[in-house]
Structure 1
Amino acid sequence: MADDNTVMVQFHYDGKAPTVADVAARFGIDEALIDAEFGVIITDYDEQLCTVLVPMSVAAKIDPQLADDGNGDEGSFSNPRIEPFGPPDDGEE
């Protein structure tokens, strides 16, 4: 699912780390709309933050359900393609 039309959504969870099914139920979306290969990634154990990868249209439905506590740690974030800088290093100098 990861493509140019996906974004990462980060949010707080309570209790044990959520599954894809837990996240879908919490936000009222179909499980198939969450990238299963990416899964649910815990981004901060202490703050109980996790992240999922979803299409932008789904993030637009999730964002209004997130708490606006002013610290900016919940919401949608870009999912830029990660590529190497410059030619591969062949080990020779």
Structure 2
Amino acid sequence: MNQISNAIQNGIDKAIQSFQDKAIDFFIYVLKCIGNFIVETSDITCPIICLLALAFYITGNRKAGKYVSGSIVFYFLAQAIKGIALK
């Protein structure tokens, strides 16, 4: 009776461990895809955000100034990551 219980428990433990490994691999894959999407679309989105923020800044919204510089910095960082990832 004890051997059957141990065998069942070992099977359940292996199944749980396998599920955890697959779940971790899936979440890593999803995060990589999201990161790749962000880096690939930074060519379009960063200049648009920068120009919109600059327009808001010029019209009087002083808080938009940080988005101008942030967008430029993020664009250069994304291009650096893209350059490293392609090599």
TM-score normalized with structure 1 length: 0.24
Higher relative contact order (CA 8 A, sep 6+): 1
TM-score normalized with structure 2 length: 0.25
Higher helix share: 2
Higher strand share: 1
